Amino acid sequence: MNTKNQLRRVAKLGITEFESTTDVRDLQTDMLRRLERSKIDPGQYASLADCQSNHCAYKKCLEACWFGTRHRRLDEIPAIYHLLQNSKKPLYEVRFVRGIWARPAKHLRYAPITAAKKLNSRALDRLFMPTLVAIGTFKVSVEERYEGHLWICEIHQIVAGAEKDELQKVFSSRRQAIAISNKLWLQEVTDLGQTISKVFRRDLETWQDLERKHLAAEEPTKMQRREFYKWLLNLRPGARLIRYGCDRYFNKLENKKPRTFRATVRKPRPYPYHLKKYMFGCREEYGEDKYDPDETGPFDVVKSQREKHLQHNYPWAKIVGKKQHFDWRPHSRRRT
């Protein structure tokens, strides 16, 4: 399918302000200028100057090529729209940030893409929904600070088939970080086409807290853009994509088996009879603070002594089994 037909198909989905060829060419030119002023070997990016909207200078496209990124978006958006449209409702746009993912200046190459994907998969696994579908991207934004800029990493995705309170439960985190606190935003999808286009934007933007939308965001500086482009050169195409519940072609997994739920059984612990004289609340008048050396022997030897001890000192206790497990029922410590 040629580019014109793809643009028509994207326009039918209600997506406006899709990037034009001129916008992509400007991004490509800016990237080449920034890389020329870096210490990278020109052989890694020299052929990017020959890429056009209808021509690729590489046998395998690069993640740093903006013409290739535009072609991938044209292919992905209709397929993702069809997938989410036929998935279970409701649809929620999810954005969450972890402070431990943040990276200082000149350390963007250590952005934890793999760790973020695994955390996202574990969180969705806790919902135990085999029909759940999630599509999104791993994004980086830059925040200018007094001591230097900071790279903030986040996962921006669309989740289909889960309720809002369930998503809040699995994605919320109380852990605090030094650079930036953990954040989570949830919003129900009303315009699916525009939301997909926004989620799958891959250009660099300045970090803007959704709770402070009224503040104007500054454009990234040349140094920040240079570091961002150097990071893209080391990524393979599609490295930032997130897929859950679908294959690489955005086809829903029909034969996905439900995840097995295994209840955690608490390991039985013996009652420390030899420490009862040190326990708080032991009453001397009832002999609860005294230690009987026979209680440390085998269970069969002290079984009768232990039952006698429980019936005398803890009449409200109920022996569940042969081992030292007790069902503590509501009781009153007042003796009759």
Determine, yes or no, domain membership for 10: yes
Q: What pLDDT score does 247 carry?
A: 92
Q: What is the pLDDT of residue 307?
A: 64
- Tell whether 189 and 317 lie within a shared domain: no
286 Ramachandran zone, left/alpha/beta (phi>0; psi -120 to 50): alpha
Domain hosting residue 111, numbered range: 3-244
Instruction: Report if residue 38 sits inside a domain.
Output: yes
Q: How far is CA 267 from CA 124, 181, 264, 333, in A?
A: 28, 36, 9, 28
Peptide bond into 272 cis (omega under 30): no
Residue 256 included in any domain: no
Q: What is the pLDDT of residue 285?
A: 65
- Which 8-state DSSP code applies to residue 166? H
Q: Range with the lowest mean pLDDT among 36-40, 69-73, 272-276, 313-317?
A: 313-317
Residues 167 and 279 in one domain: no
Q: Look at residue 1 in the predicted model and tell me its pLDDT.
A: 65
Average pLDDT of the chain is 83
Residue 34 Cα to chain centre, angstroms: 32
For residue range 257-286, what is the model confidence (pLDDT) as tens digits? 777 767 676 777 777 777 777 777 777 666
Q: What is the CA radius of gyration of the chain?
A: 30
Domain match, 115 and 22 both = yes
Domain assignment present for residue 45? The answer is: yes
Confidence at residue 325, expressed as pLDDT on a 0 to 100 scale = 43
**Quick one: 63 and 204 in the same domain?**
yes
246: closest CA among 237, 256, 260, 236? 256
For residues 54 and 126, state if they share a domain. yes
Residue 294 has pLDDT above 60, yes or no: no
Indicate whether 278 and 317 sit together in one domain.
Answer: yes
Residue linked to tokens 């399918």: 1
- Angle, CA 243 vertex, CA 112 and CA 154 arms, to 5°: 35
Written as one string, the DSSP assignment of 80-145 is: HHHHHHTSPSPEEEEEEE-GGG-EETT-GGG--HHHHHHHHHHHHHTT--TT-EEEEEEEEEEE--
Q: How many domains does the chain have?
A: 2
Q: Within this chain, do residues 176 and 62 fall inside the same structural domain, yes or no?
A: yes
266 is a domain residue: no
Reply yes or no on whether the pLDDT at 93 is more than 60.
Answer: yes
Question: Residues 109-164: pLDDT tens digits?
Answer: 999 999 999 999 999 999 988 899 999 999 999 998 878 899 999 999 999 999 99
Chain segment 198-255, per-residue pLDDT in tens: 999 999 999 887 776 656 678 899 999 999 999 999 999 999 999 999 999 999 988 8
User: Could you tell me if 177 and 294 lie in one domain?
Assistant: no
Regarding whether 235 and 150 lie in a shared domain, the answer is: yes
Amino acid letter at 268?
A: P
- The pLDDT assigned to 275 comes to 77
pLDDT recorded at residue 328: 44
Question: Could you tell me if 176 and 311 lie in one domain?
Answer: no
* pTM of the full structure: 0.76
pLDDT at residue 47 is higher than 60? yes
The secondary structure of residue 246, as a DSSP letter, is B
Same-domain status, 237 and 281: no
45 and 155 housed in the same domain? yes
